[in-house]
Structure 1
Amino acid sequence: MMPWLGTLQSGSARIEVITFFPLESFMKSSYLVSSAVAAALAMGLVGQVAAQDKAAKEKCFGIAKAGENDCSNLSGSHSCAGQSKVDMGADEWKFVAKGSCKGMSGMTAEEAKAKMKK
Structure 2
Amino acid sequence: MTDDREWPGEWLRGVLPQAVLRVLDDGPTYGYAIATRLAEAGIGEIKGGTLYPLLGRLEAAGHVTVEWRAGEGGPGRKYYEISPEGRRHLLDLVARWTRFAAVVDAHLAAPAPGGEDPRA
TM-score, normalised with respect to structure 1: 0.31
Larger fraction in strand = 1
| TM-score (norm: length of structure 2) | 0.30
More helix by share: 2
Which structure has the larger Rg over C-alpha atoms?
A: 1
